[in-house]
Chains A and B, each alone.
Chain A
Amino acid sequence: MFKPSCALLCALLTLSLAAQAPLGKAQVLPLGSTIPDDPAIQKVIDPLAAEIKASFDLPLVQAPQGLLRGRRGEENLLGYWVADVMRTAAQGTVGKPVRFGITNAGGLRSNLRPGLLKVADIFEMMPFENELVVVELTGAEVIQVVKEGIVRRGGEPCSGVKARVDGSPEQPVFVLTWEDGSAIDPAETVRVATTDYLYGGGDSIPTLRKGRKPFTTGITLRQMLLDQCAALAKAKQELLPPAPGRYTLPVPILEAIRDKKLKL
């Protein structure tokens, strides 16, 4: 009986494990409106879709003052609320202090007008599926992130930090502290709550991309906001805007930002 040598056996085994020539036809089939609905599946979905749609009209919480993004030069109190909710949710998720939170004003698509908020209002304000991400940055990097937001948009909505710009547009002096007024240690490593969009490089805050140990929570910002509204209503509280004062930017500085003349 023929006994293959060890080398031959190995070669045979390798051959048998190698992929063949799978030169197959392949294509992408876009699922467009020309494809009719499946009646059996649609029969299941229809009542659930109606239920979901009805839930959009559900009342959430009273917001007597509304939460507004602010016009140019005004503070974005809606954004501050979103950043606060992000930071709180991040702390709850990772179970450790999260010192700073930042989102992007461009991602907040509408104001929350005064009155009774409905689920649809949160969806309109936050239509994206952006998720909460927690990363680690040094204090120096947090300062740089805030500065980049100021130069680009007059300050992206943040939580945990206060920023002031002194000096002139030609020679700006950035003064940043933690929210309680204490100094930011440039060497200290802190946790930062942000979105997968910003961490991925969206909206040009490049230093955020340096975030280390990223933790993708799987929680959408919108769901966080819905949950927060529901929690307030359950506690019989109103949704009120956070206090202003996180960004203090004099008019000449604001004008320089508008004219894209403010440099770091």
Chain B
Amino acid sequence: MNRRAFLASLGTAALASQVPLRAQEGPAAASGRITLLHTNDTHSRIEPFGPGNGAISGLGGVSRRATLVRQLRQQLGSVLLLDAGDTFQGTPYFNRYKGRLDYQLMRMMGYDAGTLGNHDFDNGVGMLVEAMEAMEQLQHANAPFAFLNCNFDCKGAPALQKRVRPYLVKDFPGVRVGLTGIGVAFAGLVAPKNHEGITWRDPYESLRPVVKRLREVEKVDLVVVLSHLGYNLNGTGPDDLHLPGQVAGIDAVIGGHSHTFLETPTRVPQAQGETLVFQVGFGGVNLGRMDFAVARGQVRAASGAAMPVLA
């Protein structure tokens, strides 16, 4: 598909997706829609994958991702750009810029929130905080993005603690979204000296009160979890697939860690409704997209035409 066709398809998709569910303006709006765009395990892949990388050769690249996100934002309006962790480690860009570049580019792209993966601790807590600071200090129109996690006890690392929040609420016309994050256990993945002052807690137990608060106190319409647990550990540990069965009230799990390429989200039934569990590979090869619509406080099916973006 050439660029003109690509842009044309964007316009058509946006028209089809916005008209039927057009949100009412103002805080008292009874309905609205939200699009979640997401990445995971980008691993410092600033440039597209070069030749010799099999099926992912030529794919990815921060610059293209920025274009796609900007166009979708212009067309759709209510968009959240999210990441499920492991931004660091994998290319010379990380070795040279220590993650500062990755986080600064994420801010330039307009990320709203991300969580922390095990590799984000590869240079220790101090360097992680330095990268966060570099992102905060960037002179840019976009606000700094939030780091979300509810199962790392960061009391022993105050500089990180003040930058990582357990949850975030974002309001859009007709939709109030609650976001939180969870991280994988450090054991066997992160050297003790690199997570000094941070204690890992059980993600299911940590999530329950946060989701309850988001539902009952913050009164959100949609609960989204950014997870770096991995898609399916076959019962050997907490994972994304088993999360909805353990913690009620989650609408979407945006996963990472296992580098799982899913074509569509896995729908995990719950006692009431279901949870969508999604993950889109690694290295920024793909951007995930999930659309939700809320009508009179209930999450409903979103309409919208498929938007092909062919390589």
List the interface of chain A (C-beta within 8 A of B): 13-38, 40-42, 44-45, 48-49, 51-52, 55, 93-94, 127, 129, 213-220, 223
With A35-B309, A223-B95 known to touch, is A44 a contact of B105 (CB < 8 Å)? yes
Would B68 and A35 count as touching, CB distance under 8 A? yes
B290 contacts across to A, CB distance below 8 A:
24-26
B92 contacts across to A, CB distance below 8 A:
52, 55
* Chain B: interface size category: 35 or more
B291 contacts across to A, CB distance below 8 A:
24-26
With A20-B299, A32-B310, A41-B66 known to touch, is A48 a contact of B97 (CB < 8 Å)? yes
Would B63 and A19 count as touching, CB distance under 8 A? no
Mark the stretch among B145-153, B197-205, B258-266 that contacts chain A: B258-266
- Chain B contact surface mostly: mixed
Instruction: Give Cα distance in the complex from A214 to B189, angstroms.
Output: 8
B101 CB within 8 Å of chain A: yes
- In the complex formed, the residue of A with least CB distance to B272 is A18
With A19-B272, A22-B252, A34-B310 known to touch, is A129 a contact of B90 (CB < 8 Å)? yes
Question: What are 17 pairs between A and B in contact, CB < 8 Å?
Answer: A16-B216, A18-B271, A18-B272, A18-B273, A22-B222, A22-B274, A24-B302, A27-B288, A33-B58, A33-B311, A38-B66, A38-B109, A44-B104, A51-B96, A52-B96, A218-B189, A218-B191
B155 CB within 8 Å of chain A: no
- Chain A contact surface mostly: mixed
Counting from the closest, the 10 A-B pairs by CB-CB distance are: A32-B311, A18-B272, A38-B66, A20-B299, A37-B63, A17-B249, A218-B122, A23-B301, A35-B64, A22-B251
B2 contacts across to A, CB distance below 8 A:
34
Instruction: Give Cα distance in the complex from A23 to B68, angstroms.
Output: 24
Q: A26-B289, A220-B90 are in contact. List 9 more A-B contacts (CB 8 A).
A: A21-B301, A22-B275, A26-B265, A30-B59, A30-B285, A34-B310, A44-B108, A215-B188, A215-B191
Would B212 and A38 count as touching, CB distance under 8 A? no
A14, A15, A24, A34: the one contacting B293 at CB < 8 Å is A24
